[in-house]
Amino acid sequence: MNISHIEHLGIAVENLEEAIAYYEQVLGMKCYSIEEVVDQKVKTAFFLVGHTKIELLESTSPDGPIGKFIAKKGQGIHHIAFAVDNTTEALKTVEERGVTLIDKTSRKGAEGLEIGFLHPKSTLGVLTELCSQPK
C-alpha cells in the first residue's frame, strides 16, 4: 500500500450554502464542485488548497452518516482521506494489519473516486478514508 498524499479533509456542516459562503467570502477560497452522493445521503462541496482538498459535507437525511455525526458531535472535522493506488487492495492490506473496516471493498464516492473507510475504533479515533482513481 502506497499513500501518496492527503486527498482531502471531510468537514461536516449543517448548511452547505452557509459553509460555502464562509470559505469563499471569509477565507477567499473558491468552491469548484458541488455534488450529491445519493447512496451516502450527503451533498458535498469541494475547495482546493494546494494539492489537498477540503470536502464540506451536508446531510440530505437525518439518518445518513453525516446527519448522525452532526446530531452526536456537531459540525466539524469528520474524516481524513488518503490517496492510494488501489482502494480495494489497500483495504485488504490494513485489514491484514488488524484494522477494523467499515467497507470491505471499495465503493463509489464523490468526484468518481473509489473509496473505503476504516473504523475509528481501530485508527486512534480518526475516521479514515482511503481513496483512489477508478481503474
As a whole number of Å, the end-to-end CA separation of the chain is: 16
* Nine-digit cell string for 85: 493506488
User: Who contacts 132 (Cβ-Cβ below 8 Å, separation ≥6)?
Assistant: 83, 84, 85, 86, 87, 90, 106, 113, 114
The total number of structural domains in the chain stands at 1
Task: State pLDDT tens for residues 69-116.
Answer: 999 999 999 999 999 999 999 999 999 999 999 999 999 999 999 999
Task: State pLDDT tens for residues 28-78.
Answer: 999 999 999 999 999 999 999 999 999 999 999 999 999 999 999 999 999
Question: Which CATH number characterizes residue 122's domain?
Answer: 3.10.180.10
Domain of 78, in residue numbers: 3-132
- According to the model, what pLDDT value does residue 135 have? 78
